[in-house]
Chains A and B, each alone.
Chain A
Amino acid sequence: QSVLTQPPSASATPGQGVSIPCSGSTSNIRSNTVNWFQQFPGTAPKLLIYSNDQRPSGVPDRFSGSKSGTSASLAVSGLQSEDEADYYCAAWDDSLNGWVFGGGTKLTVL
């Protein structure tokens, strides 16, 4: 059981947009910034969004993040087939004194 809650799956057609929610609590998302990761099978997670809404260099601006209270979300616009992957949210938890993660959302591009 992951500390952060994500839907197990999401899907959309090429060119459409999709939003992936991440629900947490006061000790993690409300108190600290949120990271989002993209993971392809057999590879390590890759940082997609940090500090709630910042993109590392090289990440397309089709990916955006937001946070409100104890929830965050990752939005992907103009979906492409190569966006089909697993997406994870993460945040530092002040009560557990460690990083906590969502269970991951498998994004399918139909």
Chain B
Amino acid sequence: QVQLQQSGPGLVKPSQTLSLTCAISGDSVSSNSVTWNWIRQSPSRGLEWLGRTYYRSKWNIAYAVSVKSRITINPDTSKNQFSLQLNSMTPEDTAVYYCVRGGLGSLDYWGQGTLVTVSS
């Protein structure tokens, strides 16, 4: 059974960087048949895909255009996890952030979610 356990702060100051980690159990971040995604959800923006990383003989990373200039997603094979960094946070980035496994044409396993509030 795949489980994703998120960790990271729930409060970030404006202009600072958000850092979240997603620990994987029951699968490998290096699996060549799945992808590892970050998705956020807010009342104003709904569900929004932020980006993903996946391994297919080499590491691949892709980001949504809306956040491309300030996002970094990294796999960590030593700890079997992947991370999200989002720079220059503003109140508009306030949302629940989820890490999600991408199966074959599906988003099948979700982390528990982290409510991130951007406020001074």
Q: For B113, what are the chain A residues with a Cβ–Cβ distance below 8 Å?
A: 43-44
Q: Mark B100-120, 1 if CB is under 8 A from A, else 0.
A: 000111111111110000000
Distance between Cα atoms of A104 and B45 in the complex (Å): 11
Interface stretch (choices A12-20, A70-78, A92-100): A92-100
Q: Is A51 interfacial (CB 8 A cutoff)?
A: yes
Summarize B's interface: helix, strand, loop or mixed.
strand
> Which A residues, 78 to 110, have Cβ-Cβ distances below 8 Å to chain B?
88, 90, 92, 96-104
Interface size band for B:
20 to 34
Q: For B107, what are the chain A residues with a Cβ–Cβ distance below 8 Å?
A: 35, 37, 47, 90, 99
Distance between Cα atoms of A103 and B48 in the complex (Å): 10
Among the listed B49, B108, B111, which residue makes an inter-chain contact with A100, where contact means beta carbons less than 8 Å apart? Answer: B49
- Whether the pair A32, B105 counts as a contact (CB closer than 8 A) is yes
> Which B residues, 40 to 80, have Cβ-Cβ distances below 8 Å to chain A?
46-49, 51, 62, 64-65
Q: For A90, what are the chain B residues with a Cβ–Cβ distance below 8 Å?
A: 47, 107
Distance between Cα atoms of A35 and B104 in the complex (Å): 11
Residues A44 and B105 in contact in the complex (CB < 8 Å), given A98-B62, A101-B46: no
B11–chain A nearest beta-carbon distance, Å: 18
Known: A99-B37, A100-B49, A101-B46. 8 other contacts (CB 8 A): A33-B105, A44-B98, A45-B47, A45-B110, A47-B108, A47-B109, A51-B106, A98-B51
